[in-house]
Chain A
Amino acid sequence: MGKETEEIRKIKPGRPDWFWFLFPSLLLIVLFFFLPIVITLIISGTNMSSTTGFHAWKWVGLNNFRKIAILPETADHFWLTVKYVAVTLAFFNIGMALVVSIITTHISRGTGFFFRALWLLPRITPTVTYVMMWKFLGANAPYGVFNQLIIQPLGLAPQNWVAASSFLFIVLVNGYIGASFGMIIFTSAIEAIPKDITIASLVDGASMLQRIRYVILPYIKWPLLFVTTYQTLSLMTSFEQIMVLTDGQFNTEVWSLWAYHKALQNYWGNFQWGFGNALAAVLVVVGIILGIIYLRYFKFNELVQDPKIESL
């Protein structure tokens, strides 16, 4: 097989077939991923704002980044974002997704399907409706469901729980949506594990935990890498649920929401595009660094090697 490929390459020397094959996706990546990053970096070096418009701006070098470094609130936004991404990822987007997919692939197919469908509900509900449900769940008495059904009957003081437990709420609101993504990927990966392997582990007397640790997890390493990377970056940059829920109040202004507020949602309208883009540029850099770390940690190079069975 290998030799044949070599021969074909020799017959048509230098012909970039791979180029045309990859061209559509390359075009998309350049247009919608690479160019926006370049534009973000360029704007972050300017003082562009509503006042300057898109024509009268000036280069300010690294001033915006200097400002980020010295602003007292920077550390708050940074650590909140780290905490939010780590907790949501660990408990929901990876943790809960794994639990749901393992359980639903080990019960009857119909029941598994039903529960997975239930987990999809938060994702398919429009964001505003979904978040409003959470808001009214935690709202102050006499409106909040939580206050009415649990807090007041217990004789405790009702309050606005979204504000009182704001961090928990942003994790829950995002986690319930995020879990379904990993759930779908992990479920299909688990179902793709060759039956002879799982049956062999059963015959060998492996416990459920041992099967998860030594059979399932190694087999779904690829999807795990993908979901972890994708969801980390997605949690870092998405803010719409938090915006609708608290609009960044009660210490919930994660980095991306901070960038959005600065660039596009200043209350009285003078948008700081330059500064907002500098904040976004920081996210881009952190995202790239995290991406590289993940690829190394999951030994990406080994995963993309030619299958050993075929190179024999």
Chain B
Amino acid sequence: MKRLTFLIILLALPALIFAGGQKEKAKTTGPQTVTITVWAKANNVEHWRADAAVPAAKALNAELKKEGKNITVVVKPIYDNTPWGQYKNKFTMAADAGEGPDIICSGHEDVPVWAQAGYIIPLANSVSQIQGMYPEFGDVIDSLWNATMWHQKVWAVPQDTEARPMFFSKTNLKKMGWTDAQVKALPEKINSGQFTLSDLIKTAQEAIKKGVVKPGFGFWHRPKKGGDYIQFYVSYGGKVYDPVKDKLILDKNALLKWYQFQRKVVTTGITPKNYIGTEWKIWHDTVSHNNALFWNGGIWQWADWKTNYLNGDESILFKNVGYALIPSGIRGKEGNTLSHPLVYMVTTEKASGHKYRDLVIRLLAFMTTKEINTKHALQSTHLGILKSQMQYKPYLDAKFLSSVTYMLKHNWYQPNDSYYGQWFDIVWKGMTNAENGVKTPQAAVDLVVKEMKIELGDNVIIK
């Protein structure tokens, strides 16, 4: 009997321990304190993604006091720099257990996934509705709302955006014999489709031949998995999404041309053999020290190069590095760039275990000001998201940012489609097969088509 009692106590112990995590109960009368938690994936120069909530809460509390409301908002901003997969996983687990944050900052592609899972709430039924909700939301650049839409509703508020340019070494081009005027005209030539991806290969080959850069250092594309690669598929006329049919698209012809390009950069010797998977540190070190001719990356890397590789001396970058859109693969077609806005989403009462969703949305409005967003934009070299920032002196004074903002006119977004992750993984694997020479570009395309049909079935249109 004693042993049985002991056993019962032993089994009941975990239940007693876990019973501690009770949900917050809302007080209905008297002074109230509402805690709002914000999660963001960020490194030390991107901390404003979460910390924006601190000054915003201060402003919100002042407003609430003015309105005579007996509510005080306390915020808990949490940022971590775990890889995206882990970050999203952590949120999913927390939200499903009813212990998620009130605001989650993540990529816009999470909107359809988390909306379907019931973790986030729609904020408005249309763009005009959200623009009218708070003046701060009305200030957001109109086109950015496209990235927050899913099934005709607005599910998020943009936090930042960027462009992903083709960088080039101005000094190395000049060593090849290019004049200052030619170097200066390159972004415009890319913009108008006069300088294509084939020209990029030829120029890089010439640079190697003339000994300006070492063999294999003519073109260093992004070394690891990422959305940037799809820009080259778009360069060859590929489309990712059909908004009318609300389905993903796989364009076999564009895919083949893109895979042929990826293979050609290796066979022409402008990119090293077995290059994919090169360490980020090696990549940053090489490109920031002017050892490559062309490389494609993101504008946020500018801050990284300056701070971590060039002892904070931005003038070296301005002297050596130029930037343009990703050249087209088709002559006469304009260049493109991918923007991947991060967005704030508001979680459901069930996912967060908290009420007061209206107050959370109101806090978001206070987080979306030109003062706070410019601090983030400057510190992390991301583009601003507000119309008012385009006339805001501190933002305008940032030479690099103001010189790349024009790229947003040529940008595109990845679709808010819950199957996009699978689409991307299959296409990425095909690309690595083609570039590494494991399969011919045509065989890689055939395999992608086969896998796409099995994994996505009717959710993708194969052209």
Residue B275 is within 8 A (CB to CB) of chain A in the complex: yes
Interfacial chain B residues near A73, Cβ < 8 Å:
429, 447, 451
Stretch binding the partner chain, chosen from A50-58, A112-120, A187-195: A50-58
Question: Closest A-chain residue to B88, C-beta based?
Answer: A269
Name, among B95, B106, B116, the residue most crowded by chain A CB atoms within 10 Å (CB to CB): B116
State A67–B438 Cα separation when bound (angstroms).
Answer: 24
Interfacial chain B residues near A266, Cβ < 8 Å:
85, 421-422, 425
Are B282 and A50 neighbours in the complex by a CB distance under 8 Å? no
B343 nearest CB across to chain A (Å):
13
Residue A20 is within 8 A (CB to CB) of chain B in the complex: yes
Q: Per-residue 0/1 for A123-136: is the Cβ within 8 Å of any B Cβ (1 yes, 0 no)?
A: 00000000000011
State A267–B89 Cα separation when bound (angstroms).
Answer: 11
State A73–B89 Cα separation when bound (angstroms).
Answer: 25
Which residues, 247 to 268 on A, are CB-close (under 8 Å) to B? 247, 249-251, 261, 264-268
Are A163 and B96 neighbours in the complex by a CB distance under 8 Å? no
Question: Closest B-chain residue to A54, C-beta based?
Answer: B96
Query: Inter-chain contact count A-B, CB under 8 Å?
Result: 121
Residue A156 is within 8 A (CB to CB) of chain B in the complex: no
State A268–B89 Cα separation when bound (angstroms).
Answer: 11
Question: Closest A-chain residue to B224, C-beta based?
Answer: A247
Are B273 and A159 neighbours in the complex by a CB distance under 8 Å? yes
Are B422 and A270 neighbours in the complex by a CB distance under 8 Å? yes
A131 nearest CB across to chain B (Å):
11
Q: Per-residue 0/1 for B302-330: is the Cβ within 8 Å of any A Cβ (1 yes, 0 no)?
A: 00000000000000000000000000000
Within the complex, which residue of A143, A246, A264 is in contact with B85, where a contact is CB–CB below 8 Å?
A: A264
State A264–B83 Cα separation when bound (angstroms).
Answer: 12
A197 nearest CB across to chain B (Å):
45
Interfacial chain A residues near B272, Cβ < 8 Å:
140, 159-160
A103 nearest CB across to chain B (Å):
36
Residue A139 is within 8 A (CB to CB) of chain B in the complex: yes
Are B436 and A271 neighbours in the complex by a CB distance under 8 Å? no
B1 nearest CB across to chain A (Å):
14
Which residues, 187 to 243 on A, are CB-close (under 8 Å) to B? none
Within the complex, which residue of B117, B226, B274 is in contact with A160, where a contact is CB–CB below 8 Å?
A: B274
Residue A2 is within 8 A (CB to CB) of chain B in the complex: no
Interface residues on A, range: 35 or more
Q: Is the interface of A mostly helix, strand, loop or mixed?
A: loop
Residue B400 is within 8 A (CB to CB) of chain A in the complex: no
Q: Per-residue 0/1 for B424-457: is the Cβ within 8 Å of any A Cβ (1 yes, 0 no)?
A: 1100110010001010000000010011001100
Interfacial chain B residues near A70, Cβ < 8 Å:
454
State A159–B266 Cα separation when bound (angstroms).
Answer: 12
Within the complex, which residue of B114, B225, B436 is in contact with A250, where a contact is CB–CB below 8 Å?
A: B436
Interfacial chain B residues near A261, Cβ < 8 Å:
425
Within the complex, which residue of A139, A249, A251 is in contact with B276, where a contact is CB–CB below 8 Å?
A: A249
Q: Is the interface of B mostly helix, strand, loop or mixed?
A: helix
Question: Closest A-chain residue to B450, C-beta based?
Answer: A72
Q: If A50-B114, A251-B438 touch, does A267 touch B274 (CB 8 Å cutoff)?
A: no
B30 nearest CB across to chain A (Å):
35
Question: Closest A-chain residue to B438, C-beta based?
Answer: A251
Are B420 and A246 neighbours in the complex by a CB distance under 8 Å? no
Residue A164 is within 8 A (CB to CB) of chain B in the complex: yes
Within the complex, which residue of A135, A143, A246, A267 is in contact with B421, where a contact is CB–CB below 8 Å?
A: A267
Residue A71 is within 8 A (CB to CB) of chain B in the complex: yes
Residue A162 is within 8 A (CB to CB) of chain B in the complex: yes
A126 nearest CB across to chain B (Å):
17
| Interface size counted on chain B using CB atoms at 8 A | 50
Interfacial chain A residues near B81, Cβ < 8 Å:
none
Which residues, 218 to 234 on B, are CB-close (under 8 Å) to A? 225-227
Interfacial chain B residues near A162, Cβ < 8 Å:
277
Are B275 and A267 neighbours in the complex by a CB distance under 8 Å? no
State A271–B277 Cα separation when bound (angstroms).
Answer: 23
Residue B268 is within 8 A (CB to CB) of chain A in the complex: no
Within the complex, which residue of A140, A143, A268 is in contact with B424, where a contact is CB–CB below 8 Å?
A: A268
Interfacial chain B residues near A135, Cβ < 8 Å:
279
Name, among A72, A135, A160, the residue most crowded by chain B CB atoms within 10 Å (CB to CB): A160
Question: Closest A-chain residue to B89, C-beta based?
Answer: A264
Name, among A250, A266, A271, the residue most crowded by chain B CB atoms within 10 Å (CB to CB): A266
Are A71 and B277 neighbours in the complex by a CB distance under 8 Å? no
Within the complex, which residue of B92, B109, B225, B420 is in contact with A271, where a contact is CB–CB below 8 Å?
A: B92
Interfacial chain A residues near B447, Cβ < 8 Å:
72-73
Question: Closest B-chain residue to A143, C-beta based?
Answer: B282
Question: Closest B-chain residue to A53, C-beta based?
Answer: B117
Residue B119 is within 8 A (CB to CB) of chain A in the complex: yes
Are B436 and A163 neighbours in the complex by a CB distance under 8 Å? yes
A163 nearest CB across to chain B (Å):
3
State A189–B447 Cα separation when bound (angstroms).
Answer: 50
Are A269 and B107 neighbours in the complex by a CB distance under 8 Å? yes
Interfacial chain B residues near A270, Cβ < 8 Å:
113, 418-422
Q: Per-residue 0/1 for A24-67: is the Cβ within 8 Å of any B Cβ (1 yes, 0 no)?
A: 00000000000000000000000000111111100000000001
Question: Closest A-chain residue to B106, C-beta based?
Answer: A269
Q: If A53-B119, A71-B451 touch, does A271 touch B282 (CB 8 Å cutoff)?
A: no
Within the complex, which residue of A53, A246, A247 is in contact with B96, where a contact is CB–CB below 8 Å?
A: A53
Residue B3 is within 8 A (CB to CB) of chain A in the complex: yes
Interfacial chain A residues near B88, Cβ < 8 Å:
50, 269, 271
Are B274 and A159 neighbours in the complex by a CB distance under 8 Å? yes
Are B85 and A269 neighbours in the complex by a CB distance under 8 Å? yes
Are A246 and B113 neighbours in the complex by a CB distance under 8 Å? no
Which residues, 381 to 422 on B, are CB-close (under 8 Å) to A? 414, 418-422
Question: Closest B-chain residue to A245, C-beta based?
Answer: B277
Residue B178 is within 8 A (CB to CB) of chain A in the complex: no
Are A140 and B117 neighbours in the complex by a CB distance under 8 Å? no
B309 nearest CB across to chain A (Å):
14
B250 nearest CB across to chain A (Å):
16
Name, among A50, A55, A164, A266, the residue most crowded by chain B CB atoms within 10 Å (CB to CB): A50
State A136–B429 Cα separation when bound (angstroms).
Answer: 24
State A72–B107 Cα separation when bound (angstroms).
Answer: 31
State A246–B276 Cα separation when bound (angstroms).
Answer: 10
A-B contact pairs, 22 of them (CB 8 A): A51-B116, A53-B92, A53-B118, A53-B119, A55-B118, A72-B447, A73-B429, A140-B278, A143-B282, A159-B272, A159-B274, A160-B277, A163-B274, A247-B277, A250-B432, A261-B425, A264-B85, A267-B226, A269-B84, A269-B113, A270-B418, A271-B89
A162-B277, A163-B276, A270-B418 given; name 19 further pairs at CB < 8 Å: A50-B113, A51-B113, A56-B117, A70-B454, A71-B455, A72-B451, A73-B447, A139-B279, A140-B272, A140-B278, A140-B282, A163-B436, A249-B277, A251-B438, A266-B85, A266-B425, A267-B84, A268-B109, A270-B422
Closest 3 CB pairs of A and B: A163-B274, A268-B421, A53-B117
